[in-house]
Structures are given as structure tokens and as C-alpha cells.
Structure 1
Amino acid sequence: HYWMVWWGKQPFESYQEAIPRFMSEFGFQSFPDITTVKRYTEEEDWSIYSEVMQSHQRSSIGNVTIAEYMERDYRDPKNFEMFLYVNHVLQAEGIKMGIEGHRKAMPYCMGSLYWQLNDVWPVASWSGMDYFGRWKALHYFVRDAFQEVAVMPDVAGDQLAVTVVSDRWEEIPAKIRLRALDFAGQVLGTVDVDYTIPANTSAVATELPLSDLGLVDLPNQQAQVVIAVEVLDAKGALLADNLKYLVKPKDLDLPEVSAELSVTMEEPGKATLTLTASTLAKHVYLQTSVPGHFSDNYFDLLPGETATVSFQTTAPVADTESSLSFSVVSLVDSYEK
């Protein structure tokens, strides 16, 4: 067990250092989705320090600990709903950091169990799904972090190291594609590296100075750039991808986002959403009032790229025909400008 994150108030980065042979338990809390919270609150209760919200928190340090960690990494959310959204992102990014730390340490560390999957009542907890089965950001992030092939970029000073982890039993001829781009979509530099992924292990695939990606003025660039890493197989198919930002989320100079969303009804109760944006949209959060499941959510949409997400309702189809509409939020919408 490792609870120095949460109970010990250590930063999430300590997950990269406190590596066991097998991680049997670690975690971080979040509140349920706002739709779930509305089931047990009135609007007058919309504060994490209200009697109702504290009654739905059974950790003795819970709400203040969430707020403390959020203040370290994120800007102050502008309202209660945005607090819940940022809390989901905070939890997901933290646990993702832990999973990546454990997988990078393979074969020294050969297992990682996070706490926890779901809830037995609607409550603030360490879960990735709330009581009603609604996926928090954590569940999406964990699904992706445990993909069979994963890539993890790390930056130390002006150097970039890229680790590739594979659970496959055979070697994989691959190409690693690195791009640095600003939040308006300008590509500052691109590097391709041919690499054979070793079977069933973790290895540093490449190391290079950030200047090779056009990052030659870090003090003035770091708040406005992202490094995109893709691992492609011999046929050019995507095996794994990841993003690396150079400063904390609260220090990012995020642009306003004007997202274009189109919705296609594939059949009653099932929709395909296509989303594009001309600038970076960080942690895109898709919402609808109709009960259902998004195939992806809380993802980063790079400028000029397209995301396709499916939505399947879990409500009776007749109840959704006239009410199936969607809204889009990203991190820049969570705080006052």
C-alpha cells in the first residue's frame, strides 16, 4: 500500500519514486458527477463544506485534502460544477501518473492495483465510477494507461526521454513520432525515430534535447506548447500515444476554445459526436442530461484535429428522442479569465 499521496499529502510526483515490486493499493478521491450530486443536494448545498456534502464524505481529511491538491496544480474553479469537473481531472491525472510510474519500472514492478472501481452509495470516494455507474475521468484514464502498449514522455531540464512499455510477448517494429506544437496548432518541430519495441518489458526508446523539437526558448515557450508522442506500427497504425506539457495546468496559457460539434444519430438512442477546434481544447468534457455512456471523455483535443466519440443512452429510447443534446466544456472554461 502507498498512501503518502492523500493521507501523507505528498505530491503526485512521488508516485514516480515510491516504486514497489507490486503496488497493492493507492488512490485519490473525487466527488461524483454533478448529475449524481443533484440527486442528493439542493443548489443551496453546492459547497464542499455544506452539511450535505460533508455528510457524503467519509474520509476524515477528505474535502480539505481535495481542495489542497487542487490548489497546487489548478486554477480556482469559478463555481461548484466546475469544482467537481476539475476534481475529476485532478484525480485522473494523479492516478495516471502512478500507473505510468509503476509500468515504467517493469520488470521490477509487475503489478498496480488502484483504489477503487465503484461505489456502494453516492459519495465522495476514491472510485472511477460513481454509484449510478457514471464514469469519472479516472475510469477513462485508467483504461488508456493500462493499454497493452503504452508510451510515457518525461522531461528533465531541457532533455526529453520517451519510455515505451509493452505487455506483448513478441517484438514490435515501430516508429516513434514526436511533435512539439503551440496551442494554436503551429508545429515547432518533428522527430521520427525507428524503434523495435522489446517483448514484455519497459525500455527508454529515445532521448533527445528539447531543442531538436524547436523548443529553444523554454522560459517563453513552456506555458504555450505541448509535446505529442505517437507510437506507430510498421503499417502506420497507432499503437499508443501520449501528451507532455511542460508546466502545471494552472500555469498553462490556455487559449479560448471555439469547438465545433456535430451530432449524427446512428439509431434510436445512439449518437456519433464529431468535435474539432482550431486551438487546444484541454480535458474536453462532454455532457448530456440523458443517462448514457460516452466512449471517451475528458480528453485533450489538439488544434486542427478531430475527435469522434460515440454515445449510447441507457434510458428508454422514447424518452430521449426529443431531449438528446450535448454540451462541451474544457479546462479553460473552468476558471475566471
Structure 2
Amino acid sequence: MMRETLHDGWFLRAVGGPVPDVLVGRQVPAQVPGSTHLDLMAAGLIPDPFLNRNEAELTWMHRVDWQYTTGFQTQAPRPGERVELVFDGIDTVATIELNGHLLGHTANMHRGYRFDVSESLRDGGNDLTVTLRSALTQAEQMEARLGWRQRAYPHPYNAIRKMACSFGWDWGPDLQTAGLWKPVRLERWDTARLARVRPLVAVDADGTGRVDVHLELDRAADRDYTAVVAVGDREERVTVSGDTAHVTVLVPDARLWWPVGYGDHPLYELTITLLADGEPVDTDRRRIGFRTVTVDTEPDEIGTPFTFVVNGTRVFAKGANWIPDDHFLTRITPERLARRVDQAVDANMNMLRIWGGGIYETDDFYDACDERGMMVWQDFPFACAFYAEEEPLRGEVEAEARENITRLVAHPSLVLWNGNNENLPAYTDWGWQDGLQGRSWGIGYYADLLPRLVAELDPTRPYAPGSPYSPGDLPPNGADHGTRHEWDVWNVVDYTHYRDHVPRFCAEFGFQGPPTWATLTRWIHDQPLTPTSPAFLLHQKADDGNGKLHRGLAPHLPVPADFAQWHWATQLNQARAVAFGIEHFRSWWPRTAGALVWQLNDCWPVTSWSAVDSDERPKPLYYAIKHAFAPRLLTIQPRAGRPTLVVVNDHDQPWTGTVLATRQTFDGDVLATADLPLSVPPRSTTLLDLTDDLLKPADPRIEVLIAAADGVRVHHLFAEDRDLGYDPTPFTASVTPAAGGYRVDVRANSYVRDLALLADKVAPDAIVDDMLVSLAAGETHSFFVRTTVNLQLPSALVNPDVLCCANAAAGAVESRR
């Protein structure tokens, strides 16, 4: 097998639609893999769509047709040789021509295409042309052909197999990318190639690892071949006389792959070599991990659980939802993906859910998750819409599902295939049924086609019809069955209402906040910068987003008029809201078996639900998630009508000792104290009663209850921040240079709540090791700020707008002592 990459010498030009004068008759160099926006940006012909209001100025690109062209040198096929032109991914509607010969058409971003060029390839120079039609125009025509179907956003993203959020979302831009977004190459062979390799990995009852490798050949010569399959130092071979083969390799005493926090995640090298007359003609290499995974959905006295079971161990899923990490997908590097997964691991997560309005992620993403023990829940790409089940859409859905199930089957991190995002409640609960008028809406995919394909191609993993989902005729988003999305919080009610429900598994919940200051001010240059300034509003995509931010903030903290203070207060409230939800859900383990925050990441600079913004900077929310997902957690929750200390132990070892609980004034005077015996079994929770003298403050405005054990603490206030008598200047701080950055030492002279160091305000690359730290009077804490910048004024790190806390956000109400 010979492969010739075709990534050089490409040019791009606009060939149809509302082409601006500057582009008429002009071609520019093009990057492949790449996209039209990036090529025009590189040529200086359009501004960066992420900057200010540029997104709105580029809507003309939605209707333009584009053409990519390149020339390349090669040889014509030899007698008996097969040659195919391979596109791993085209975005999206394309016509392919080689030397004037029509090779075919494409209409699906989520799959690859192969074209036989044996008749059209020639010796010497060859001319390749890819003409891309407007995806929006194609989608509108498909909708007219198949019938209108409801969706959450204006463009008919549900009528085309393209990344749905390319057409805009409540956190993403409406740019409607186009391009050759994955590699392009020629493949040549005169014997046979490994057309498909599908390794099914299992663990037998005696601990033996089993790898069943299913092979499909594409033959140029009719002869016998030998397939050699090696796993580590174990090897098996089989003669392949037809087009398919099955080889089983057994690995005694296989080392098990575990989710992060539950054990190691060893990977084994799997090599498949195809031999002809003893010589290799094609090879496939990948890494595998041995583990078993199921989801427990056996009905119980409450309803229907949804608990992941890995290697026989029940796992609480701590994680977040994942969207494409850049709206321009070809800018996402393996290194960027590794950094993002590392951030998830460092935030004590063990699962990422790839949301159905994006893409089937790249192998680079899964490789990073495999290596780090990060479990992955993969949605099929259907989101917040009804989908036609007729041709040609149905055939494309099946083709993409077959290809991607086969591609991803070897990754141990993949633990669930999920049919769709929110399309089931859209049918039952959102009032959309009447608009269907009897037309199909997608249930045939979720209840029939996709589970059949998973059963056929990947029986090693569970499948869920959708998220949220409840079995049978039950409402999909019920709390007692299956998975739930909790969006009344944020949309309708205060975040304290997370406690209204005890879901079996919460697959989505979240709260908005702006990006970090450095990211915000890099991309939005409004003067003055306010929550309602034009560019800021363009980067707030949620319906009534600012109104919901204000209504969510007001019960807890004043809504500041100053923008910098508003920025900090809304970030703090976002962090508080999500941590509140996480702690509630974790406190109900094992009844509740998972909490996946919406969302880990961003695809552009935007006010959103993310914990990490588009410039890769962690927001205060990130640190709140890290604390709330810590392996050991103390949280005060209502039980039987009174505050109760819930101890969560997500360790393999028991947690024993003593919890020291104190009620004290903000000035540090201890008013009540108790030692609570602590004995929590592994992977479990325990409730500890709190005595009345701990729970009944003399003055709720100036008192706090603190419970601590082994460095783990919980702080419980007796009123909302806006009503508390915080000291407005509760600490002193100093800065000392340190290797790789600076150390900031803080000493509390009164109670300090949620101390944060917004270091990016001082140096754009600065990252602080922790945030949202609360201190009792007399306590100290040291922050480490990592930066490459040699600060001229290190004291800037302790300025009040940088080193800030909830005391200031609450308005520094004068305390009564």
C-alpha cells in the first residue's frame, strides 16, 4: 500500500453566490486541511470573525459557493494496480473532479469518501478540483424536498449532515464553515488493503484479555493473504481467502484499564499486518485497553438507575459536556486537545460527554482520553431538532454511523454510544409534535437503526437512545429514571432549586458567566465596555442571557453598575451555582450516579456556561468544579428538614478520623464546637448530624459554620452574601518572586469568602494554582501564579480588582459587632 498526501499547492476562489468585489476573479493560497474563513483571513481579505462584531459582517459567506484546486505530479496506474482518491472529511456539499472527469458528490461532513481514479489519473501533471456548494442553500433545498421540521434555531441544520453548531448556537457563532477539513491523499495497491479493521476488546471471567479482530479486505489481486495480529508479545495469524477474516488474540492476566481515580490505564499495542507471499502489503496500528463497561438500568425501589459499571465497579461519573474546541476545527491540534483533557483531569473529572450538536471527535481526542483514564460518552450527531428518516438523509446517517463506530471501537475511553441530544423531550414535552403533520422525526434512528448498528459493530459497549432518556412511555426528563437535563435552573428559577430534584444521572446542568478578563478584552474592544455594548452583546448568544445573569445574581449578590465588578460578580455567581448543583448531586450517591456540567470548553470568545474559555484560560467556575469534584468532599445539605453534614468518599480506602466543626464569628471568636467521629467506607457517602448549637447562630449576619477533616473543609453561611456583615478589607497580602512566577501570601484578619486571584488581568499568560479559597480569621493561604512575564510592579497582583473576594462583591456591608 502506497499513500501520497495531497496537501500542497491548493488555491481557493469564490465561484457563486453573493461574492464581494474584492474576491471576484481572484484566487488565494489555501491550506488543506483547512477552511475558507481561515484562507481568506490569511490572505487579509476578511477580518477575524471572532473579533468585535465581525461575525455579523461575514454573513455573505453563508451563500457563497467555493472551489478548491490543486495540481500534482504522479504516475498513471500500472496494469493491475488500484488507485483511489481519499477524502477523510469534506465540509460539506462537494463535487469532485480530476482532470475534467466527474468523480462524484459528497453531502456529509461526518464521514469520509473514496473515489476510484484508475481511469482518470495520468502520468505527470494532474488537476484536482473540489467545488463546494453553500451548505445553507443545500439544507434549504433538502428541507423543501423532505418537509419542514422543527429545530431550536432558525437555520435548517437538521436537513444536512453537517456540524449543527456551525449554523450558530446559544454559545457559538453562525459562520457556516466550508472546506477540506481532514486529510486528502492517493492510495495505491496491486495486492490488497485493509479496508476495515474492527477490534472488539473484552475481558474473560478469569482475567484473560480477549481481542477479536474483524478484518475486511479490498482486493486488487485474487490470491490468498495472511493476516498477523499482535497484541504486545502475543501473536496470531490466519489465512484470508475471501474478503473478511476474524482473528482472536488472548492475553492472559491482562492489566485492566480503569477510569482516572479508580486505577491505572495501561494501553497495549495492537498491530495488524497483511502479508502477501510473506511480505507486508498493509499495516494498521493502534492502542487498546482491556476493560468491561456496562450501564446498570435494572429497576429499583426508586425507579430506573443509570450507573456506569467499569470492571465490575460502580462509578460516579464526574465530568462535563464537550463541544468542538474551536469553531474552526482544523486549528485544533493534538497538543491543544491534550491540554484540555489535562484540565479536565486536574479538575477531578473522569468523564467527558461529546455533545450531539458537534462532531464525532478525532482519534487525537480519544488518544488523550485513553492515556489519562478519561471516560467518554459519545453522542451521535443529532441535537435539539427533528430529523427526516427518508433518503437521502437516512443513507448518510447509516454510512457515517458505520464508519465512526468502526473507527472508534478500539478506544477504551469510549464507554457509551448515545442516540441524540434532547430530541426525545422535544417530541414529548416541547409542543413540537403538531408541526410534524405525520412526518418522520428521528425516532427510527434512535430506537432502531443506531442500536442495531451498535449491536452489530460494537457489542462491547452500552447504547442509550438519547439524553435525557427514561425507559418505556415515561417522560424522558424525569428525575427518577435514566438521565436528566436540569435547565429550569438558569432559564427559570434560582440555583438553589437544584435541590428540588434528585436525578438518577444529571447529564446536563449549568450556569453562565463571562470569559476571563484577558480573553474578553482581547476580542471585544467596545468603548465603554458594558454588558449591553454592541460587540459584547454579539458575544452573548443566549436568549435573554444578560437578563438571566442579572436575575440569577440578584438573590445572592448586588448587581454592580461598574463593568469590572459586574464581570467578577457574574463569574463568582456562575461558580457558586454549578458547585451548588454538583455538591447536591454527589451527596445523593448511589441514588444519583453522575453529574456532567454544561460545559467544559468554548469554541470562541463568548459569555457562556464554560469552565475554560476559548483562549484556554480557566474561569473561576473551573476552580469551583475542581473543589466540588474532589475525591473527598464535605458538604452541608438539607436532610429531614435540617442542615446535615454529608461526607463523600470517592476513594478506594475508607475515610476515618474526626470532623472538627465550629461556629465562629467573622472575627474568629469560637461560639460552638464539636468533634464528629468519621468513618466512611470506600466509594460511599455518610450523613453526620450537626448539633443545634452549631446550627443556631446568635447573629446570622456575622457568623460562619466551618467543618474540617484532613484538610477538607466546608463553610456554611447563615444568610446570603448581600445580607452578611462582611469586613470590606478582610485580609492583608504580599507578593514574593518565585521560580516560574510569583507567590502571593494572604492573611485573613476577618472572615474571607471565596478569595480569587484574577492573575490574567496582570499578565495574559498568568495562571493561578487555586481560586475561591475561604479563610477564617487568623488563617493564611499562599497562591502561586505561574507566568513568563517579569512584572515591573508585582504588587499589581494584590490590587483589589485582581485579588478579590465575595466580601467586596457583596458590597462590603458594614458589620455590626
Same fold (TM over 0.5): yes
C-alpha separation in 2, matches of 1:303 and 1:158: 30
Partner of 1:247: 719
Retained in 1: the 8 A contact 2:659–2:707? yes
Superposed CA deviations along residues 225-278 of structure 1, whole A, max 9, x for unmatched, are 11111123xxxxx2x2111011111111111215221222222x3222211021
Partner of 2:351: none
2:614 to 131, 138, 151: 131
Retained in 2: the 8 A contact 1:160–1:208? no
- Alignment pair present for 1:270 and 2:741: yes
Partner of 1:235: none
C-alpha separation in 1, matches of 2:563 and 2:547: 15
Of 292-301 and 43-52, deviating more is 43-52
Partner of 2:753: 282
C-alpha separation in 2, matches of 1:228 and 1:52: 43
- Alignment pair present for 1:17 and 2:500: yes
| Bigger relative contact order (CA 8 A; separation at least 6) | 1
Q: Residues 1-337 of structure 1: matches in 2 within 5 Å?
A: 1-7=485-491, 9-42=492-525, 44-154=527-637, 159-209=642-692, 211=693, 213=694, 215=696, 217=698, 221-232=699-710, 238=711, 240-267=712-739, 269-288=740-759, 289-290=762-763, 291-313=765-787, 317=788, 319-324=789-794, 325-327=796-798, 328-334=803-809, 335=811
**Displacement of 1:81:** 0.5
C-alpha separation in 2, matches of 1:119 and 1:138: 13
**Displacement of 1:105:** 0.8
C-alpha separation in 2, matches of 1:92 and 1:321: 29
* Amino acid corresponding to residue 326 of structure 1 in structure 2: L
Retained in 1: the 8 A contact 2:732–2:749? no
C-alpha separation in 2, matches of 1:326 and 1:157: 45
Retained in 1: the 8 A contact 2:753–2:807? yes
Retained in 2: the 8 A contact 1:189–1:214? no
* Amino acid corresponding to residue 228 of structure 1 in structure 2: I
Superposed CA deviations along residues 65-116 of structure 1, whole A, max 9, x for unmatched, are 0011111211232410011101111011111111111111100111110011
Q: Structure 2 vs 1, CA of residues 179 and 78 (structure 1 numbering), >3 Å: closer, same or farther? A: farther
Partner of 2:440: none
Retained in 2: the 8 A contact 1:263–1:272? yes
Retained in 2: the 8 A contact 1:153–1:229? no
Q: Structure 2 vs 1, CA of residues 126 and 214 (structure 1 numbering), >3 Å: closer, same or farther? A: closer
* Amino acid corresponding to residue 564 of structure 2 in structure 1: E
Retained in 1: the 8 A contact 2:750–2:776? yes
**Displacement of 1:158:** 9.5
Q: Structure 2 vs 1, CA of residues 17 and 132 (structure 1 numbering), >3 Å: closer, same or farther? A: same
C-alpha separation in 1, matches of 2:519 and 2:703: 35
Of 324-333 and 68-77, deviating more is 324-333
C-alpha separation in 1, matches of 2:697 and 2:602: 48
C-alpha separation in 2, matches of 1:58 and 1:158: 40
Superposed CA deviations along residues 16-61 of structure 1, whole A, max 9, x for unmatched, are 2222111111111101122222223346242212211110011112
TM-score normalized by structure 1?
0.89
Q: Structure 2 vs 1, CA of residues 76 and 157 (structure 1 numbering), >3 Å: closer, same or farther? A: farther
Retained in 1: the 8 A contact 2:643–2:690? yes
* Amino acid corresponding to residue 270 of structure 1 in structure 2: G
Give the 3-state SS of the residue equivalent to 1:72 in structure 2.
coil
C-alpha separation in 1, matches of 2:797 and 2:490: 34
* Amino acid corresponding to residue 737 of structure 2 in structure 1: M
Q: Structure 2 vs 1, CA of residues 284 and 207 (structure 1 numbering), >3 Å: closer, same or farther? A: closer
Give the 3-state SS of the residue equivalent to 1:5 in structure 2.
helix
Greater C-alpha Rg = 2
* Percent identity for Structure 1 against Structure 2: 24
Gaps of 5+ in 1: 233-237
C-alpha separation in 2, matches of 1:114 and 1:163: 21
Gaps of 5+ in 2: 1-484
Superposed CA deviations along residues 197-238 of structure 1, whole A, max 9, x for unmatched, are 1221122122321x2x38453xxx111111111123xxxxx2
Retained in 1: the 8 A contact 2:727–2:812? no
Give the 3-state SS of the residue equivalent to 2:498 in structure 1.
helix
Retained in 2: the 8 A contact 1:33–1:134? yes
C-alpha separation in 2, matches of 1:78 and 1:277: 28
* Amino acid corresponding to residue 746 of structure 2 in structure 1: L
* Amino acid corresponding to residue 704 of structure 2 in structure 1: V
- Aligned pair count reads 320
Retained in 1: the 8 A contact 2:730–2:751? no
* Amino acid corresponding to residue 774 of structure 2 in structure 1: D
CA RMSD of aligned residues (A): 2.1
TM-score normalized by structure 2?
0.38
